[in-house]
Amino acid sequence: MDRSCLAVILAAGDSTRMKSSMSKVLHPIAGRPMIAHVMAAVASTGVRNAALVVGRDADAVAKAGSVEGVSVETVLQTERRGTGHAVLMAKDAIARGYDDVIVTYGDVPLVQSASFAAARRKLAEGADVVVIGFHTDKPTGYGRLLVKDGELTAIREERDATDEERKVIWSNSGLMAINGRKAVSLLEKISNNNAKGEYYLTDLVEIARAEGGKVVAVDAPENEVAGCNNRAELAFLEKLWQERRRHELMVSGVTMIAPETVFLSYDTEIGQDALIEPNVVFGPGVKVEGGVVIHSFSHLEGARVASGATVGPYARLRPGADLAASSKVGNFCEVKNAKIGEGAKVNHLTYIGDASVGSETNIGAGTITCNYDGVNKHHTEIGASAFIGSNSSLVAPVSIGDGAYVASGSVITENVPANALALGRARQEVKPERAKVIRERALALKAAKKAAK
């Protein structure tokens, strides 16, 4: 839109019903604070200026609410005197003279730009106040939107509604858009002449109409404008977000065998023709390219998986894991801050941390890169087409050359040249009949302990 716009985001609540040591809007949905979801929706609407009204945990909320491309001004609200009072905390910003002012809340993380855009279009067509409503089969507790001849005549709170008005299912979400040129004047006319002595933003409907202004409502999906007051509602919003994002990915060409068991993060990227088996969790920072197979019960975070690679089942990719095309990380393996080369295999029961593994290299079962000395992390370099035998420990810093072979059960503490064979284990000794002696001694000790009781 070729119109200037200010977004006012109300995020100063005490979060009492959340029963938490931190602000409600900092609680995450899909690994991202609720307030960050709201700010992202605002930014995608084309808004470049925002006033964030904060209270509890003000600094943390302001940090979480920062978004690229939007100039965010924070305003501290020390008193809680209603929604109208909260919006007026941003009076200085509103008074700068924007065409549009949109008002939203920091605890509606599923809101999308389309709803804001619809409201702004109505402002462009001449409305002074636009209320964003939603239709619901369960309107109990919500203010009802009363419309006549295409205009919104009132928002009737349930306690004040008649029996006929209570039958209305178009309900108030609390989100609103206001003519920016009249916003300050309208907001300042809100009074606290009510039972609670608070300033209600919904009074703008009658105030604007009394001045001859046009007031209308637009509709948004019920789930999109759902707010959050407690942990049960937080879990419900997480469920809705996951369902929406899974659907988007599957429509884009991703296969999920049991989508309801797959959990995504806000920034998860999955390419076309990828296959995600049941019970897979994606933490933040994961990019999966096309044709990848993620087997069941795998957990990925901060990882990149290139085309044609295979992960799991029961694999864990930690931050910095970078799997090249056609590589494989198999069952009960963990990879952290390590590059796995093209076609390389890390098949079973293995930990690869702070390392690089060359193309076509095979890492045997039970291999460990010993990267931590108790104070510092060290790097392990494994070349291309190498073979690391099962149950080997590679004590970093160490380098294994191209084509090298590490014998099973070895502890490698020195560099291994290309194409060399390395053995780092004690020579085997066989002592006949010694096992029988040890067993008899152990049984006698056990019998003596039992007799002593």
Active site residues: 348
- Asked if residue 392 lies in contact with residue 412, where contact means CB atoms within 8 angstroms, the answer is yes
β partners of residue 29: 32
Q: 440: how many CB neighbours lie within 10 A of its CB?
A: 10
Per-residue buried b or exposed e for 191-229, using 16+ beta carbons within 10 Å of the residue's own CB: eeeeeeeebbbbbbbbbbbeeebbbbbbebebbbbbbbe
With b for 16 or more beta-carbon neighbours within 10 A and e for fewer, the 128-163 pattern comes to bbbbbbbeeeebeebbbbbbeeeebebbbeeeebee
Q: What is the C-alpha to C-alpha distance for residues 416 and 147, in angstroms, rounded to an integer?
A: 80
Where are the extended beta strands (E) located within 295-361? 299-300, 304-305, 310-311, 316-317, 322-323, 328-331, 334-340, 345-348, 351-357
Helix or strand run (H / E) with residue 32: strand 32-33
Among 128, 169, 125, smallest CA distance to 147 is for 169
Provide the total of helices (H) and of strands (E) in the chain, helices listed first: 10, 35
Q: What is the DSSP string of 136-149?
A: -S--TTSPEEEEET
Q: What's the N-to-C CA distance of the chain in angstroms? A: 87
Q: 197: left (phi > 0), else alpha (psi -120 to 50), else beta? A: left
Neighbouring C-beta atoms of residue 392, cutoff 10 Å: 25
Q: Which residue has 């109990």 as its token pair?
A: 140
List, in sequence order, every beta strand (DSSP E) within 358-410. Answer: 362-363, 368-370, 380-382, 387-388, 393-395, 398-400, 405-406
**Calpha distance 211→205 (Å, rounded):** 10
Question: What distance in Å separates the CA atoms of residue 24 and residue 355, rounded to the nearest whole number?
Answer: 40
What is the per-residue DSSP string for 79-99?
A: S---HHHHHHTTHHHHTTT-S
Residue 396 tokens, joined:
């970093």
E strand or H helix at 73: strand 71-76
